[in-house]
């Protein structure tokens, strides 16, 4: 399917400050960026670089006053998620070195403290793709999705304690539980068609049998139609805007729609 997505951000800046934006998706496994467009007002120089996780980042000096940053993109994405119900989990010894850092505890995903919970959920089932499905289903069934019940500092441990949160919290908990049973897991942020209410979204991917698979505990039946913007260990690595100074965000508007048939065909 071909999806159109956009994100508009507007700020009020009291003094000149530095910022890093991470709002440029790139073509890769599972998506092809057909076109993209950016608008920055006032126009300032942009320095782009690729971070440790392969994300495209834009470094900007935001001048005092009102600042506008918006992006639009059109992307081909699969309508369904890949799955391999019979895929076996690999031992740590079998894993490629480039995914080993996704086994470790991180700022919001304290996997070293959630081993007992993860083990109790998967039980004695064989080490396979189904273990991750069991963890995803436990989060979906036991954590309530409630806006305004967490903040940017909420961790997986706190989500277990409160049993509520938003997509960011669901992703962090899924990551922590998977890492607790030695499954490399990473956080993903991006656009999802049909999300209600519409916003940028977070989910997680687990490395199983030599491949990354998508899991989303916020949905009854997770589907495709996703445009990935960034990957990382947790939310600390995938902030879509990191602003180093005082600011007020006055507008955050996200749209995701199927491209018109005349364009799609």
| 17 shares its domain with 68 | yes
Question: Is residue 234 situated within a structural domain?
Answer: no
List, in order, residues 6 or more apart from 144 with CB less than 8 Å away: 163, 164, 165
pLDDT on residue 262 = 44
Average pLDDT over residues 23-50: 95
Quick one: average pLDDT of 155-184? 98
Domain count, the chain: 2
pLDDT of residue 264: 45
Q: Say yes or no: 150 and 210 in one domain.
A: yes
**Residue 265 reports pLDDT greater than 80:** no
Q: Indicate whether 151 and 68 sit together in one domain.
A: no
Q: Which residue in 89, 71, 62, 69 sits closest to 24, CA to CA?
A: 71
Q: State the CATH number of the domain containing residue 208.
A: 3.10.620.30
User: What is the pLDDT averaged over residues 129-152?
Assistant: 96
Burial class (CB in 10 A: 0-12, 13-18, 19+), 28: exposed
Domain that residue 186 falls in: 92-222
216/248 same-domain check: no
Q: How confident is the model at residue 20 (pLDDT cuts 50, 70, 90)?
A: very high
- 238, 55 Cβ separation under 8 angstroms: yes
How far the first Cα of the chain sits from its last, in Å, is: 10
* pLDDT value of residue 29: 78
Q: Looking at the structure, tell me whether residues 100 and 214 fall in a common domain.
A: yes
Same domain for 131 and 174, yes or no, is yes
pTM: 0.94
pLDDT band at 223 (very low <50, low <70, confident <90, very high): very high
**Token couple for 206:** 């687990």
């Amino acid at each position: 399917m071909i999806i159109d997505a956009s994100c508009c951000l507007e700020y009020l800046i009291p003094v000149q400050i530095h910022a890093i934006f991470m709002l440029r998706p790139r073509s890769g496994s599972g998506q092809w960026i057909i076109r993209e467009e950016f608008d920055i007002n006032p126009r300032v120089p942009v320095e782009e670089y690729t971070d440790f996780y392969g994300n495209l980042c834009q470094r900007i000096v935001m001048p005092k006053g009102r600042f506008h940053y918006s992006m639009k993109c059109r992307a081909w994405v699969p309508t369904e998620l890949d799955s391999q119900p019979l895929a076996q989990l690999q031992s740590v010894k079998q894993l490629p070195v480039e995914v080993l850092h996704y086994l470790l505890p991180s700022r919001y995903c304290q996997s070293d403290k959630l081993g007992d919970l993860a083990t109790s959920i998967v039980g004695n089932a064989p080490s396979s793709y189904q273990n991750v499905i069991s963890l995803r289903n436990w989060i979906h069934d036991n954590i309530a999705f409630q806006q305004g019940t967490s903040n940017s500092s909420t961790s997986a441990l706190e989500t277990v304690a409160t049993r509520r949160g938003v997509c960011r919290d669901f992703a962090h908990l899924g990551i922590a539980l998977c890492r607790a049973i030695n499954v490399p897991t990473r956080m993903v942020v991006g656009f999802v068609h049909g999300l209600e209410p519409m916003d940028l979204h977070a989910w997680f991917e687990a490395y199983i049998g030599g491949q990354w698979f998508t899991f989303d505990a916020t949905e009854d039946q997770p589907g495709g139609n996703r445009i990935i913007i960034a990957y990382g260990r947790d939310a600390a690595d995938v902030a879509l805007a990191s602003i180093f100074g005082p600011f007020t965000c006055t507008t955050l508007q996200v749209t995701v729609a199927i491209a018109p048939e005349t364009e799609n065909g």
